[in-house]
Amino acid sequence: MTSTETLGGARDTAGPARLDDLAAALLTPGARRDPYPFYARMRREDPVHRSPQGIWYLTRYADVEAALSDLRLSNDRDRMTRSYSALGGDLKALSRLTERLGRVMTNTDPPDHARLRKLANRAFTARRVEALRDGVQRIVDQLIDEAVAAGTTMDLIEAVASPLPMSVVCELFGIPDADRPQVKSWFRRFGRLSEDIDKSEAAIDQYEEYLSGLIRQRRRDPGDDLISALVATQAQDDRLTDSELLSTCFVLITAGDETTTHLIGNGMLALLRHPDQLARLRADPDLIHSAVEELARYDTVTQAIVRVVAQDLEIGGRTLREGELVYLFLGATNRDPERFEDPDRLVLSRPGNRHLSFGHGPHFCLGGPLAKLQAEVAVGTLVRRLPELRLADGAALDWRDNPLQRRLTALPLAY
Domain contains 137:
yes
> Cα(191)–Cα(122) distance, rounded to whole angstroms?
28
Query: Which CATH number belongs to the domain containing residue 131 in this structure?
Result: 1.10.630.10
One domain, residues 163 and 261: yes
Which pLDDT band, with edges at 50, 70 and 90, does 11 fall under?
Answer: very low
One domain, residues 11 and 91: no
**What three-state secondary structure class fits 49?**
strand
Give the pLDDT confidence of 155-213 residue by residue, as tens digits.
Answer: 999 999 999 998 998 898 899 999 999 988 887 777 666 667 777 778 888 888 998 99
One domain, residues 124 and 238: yes
Closest CA to 260 of 140, 414, 383: 140
Domain contains 302:
no
One domain, residues 26 and 92: no
Residue 227 has pLDDT above 50, yes or no: yes
* Average pLDDT of the residues in 79-107: 63
Q: What is the Cβ-side half-sphere exposure of residue 359, based on CA atoms within 13 angstroms?
A: 19
> Cα(87)–Cα(75) distance, rounded to whole angstroms?
18
Average pLDDT, the chain: 86
* Average pLDDT of the residues in 11-16: 49
Per-residue pLDDT at 361: 85
Q: Which amino acid is at 304?
A: A
One domain, residues 155 and 7: no
Residue 3 has pLDDT above 50, yes or no: no
One domain, residues 14 and 116: no
Give the pLDDT confidence of 58-78 residue by residue, as tens digits.
Answer: 999 999 999 999 999 998 877
* Average pLDDT of the residues in 388-405: 90
Domain contains 39:
no
One domain, residues 116 and 18: no
Q: How many structural domains compose the chain?
A: 2
- Between β-strands 56-58 and 325-329, what pairing exists: parallel, antiparallel or unpaired? parallel
One domain, residues 240 and 97: yes
Q: How many CB atoms sit inside 10 A of residue 304's CB?
A: 24
Q: Is the backbone peptide bond immediately before 275 cis, with ω within 30 degrees of 0? A: no
Domain contains 71:
no
Per-residue pLDDT at 13: 40
Domain contains 308:
no
Domain contains 46:
no
- C-alpha 296: how far from chain center: 10
Q: What is the Cβ-side half-sphere exposure of residue 224, based on CA atoms within 13 angstroms?
A: 6
> Cα(197)–Cα(205) distance, rounded to whole angstroms?
12
DSSP 8-class letter at 286: G
* Average pLDDT of the residues in 369-395: 96
Q: Which amino acid is at 63?
A: D
One domain, residues 231 and 156: yes
Longest dimension (CA), the chain: 67
- Between β-strands 412-414 and 390-391, what pairing exists: parallel, antiparallel or unpaired? antiparallel
Residue 14 has pLDDT above 70, yes or no: no
Residue 107 has pLDDT above 50, yes or no: yes
In the chain, % of residues over pLDDT 90: 57
> Cα(411)–Cα(399) distance, rounded to whole angstroms?
10
One domain, residues 137 and 247: yes
One domain, residues 7 and 102: no
**What three-state secondary structure class fits 120?**
helix
Residue 413 has pLDDT above 90, yes or no: yes
Domain extent for 148: 84-296+355-414
> Cα(329)–Cα(255) distance, rounded to whole angstroms?
19
Domain contains 60:
no
Domain contains 347:
no
> Cα dist. 279→82, 102, 373 in Å?
50, 47, 21
Closest CA to 335 of 324, 344, 323, 325: 344
Q: Are 62 and 338 a contacting pair, CB within 8 Å?
A: yes
Residue 389 has pLDDT above 90, yes or no: yes
Least confident interval from 12-16, 60-64, 111-115, 332-336: 12-16
One domain, residues 196 and 273: yes
Per-residue pLDDT at 251: 73
**What three-state secondary structure class fits 73?**
strand
Closest CA to 298 of 283, 277, 327: 277
> Cα(239)–Cα(243) distance, rounded to whole angstroms?
11
Which pLDDT band, with edges at 50, 70 and 90, does 239 fall under?
Answer: low
Task: Write out the DSSP string of 49-115.
Answer: EE-TTS-EEE--HHHHHHHHT-TTEE--HHHHHHHHHHTT---HHHHHHHHHT-S-GGG--TTHHHH
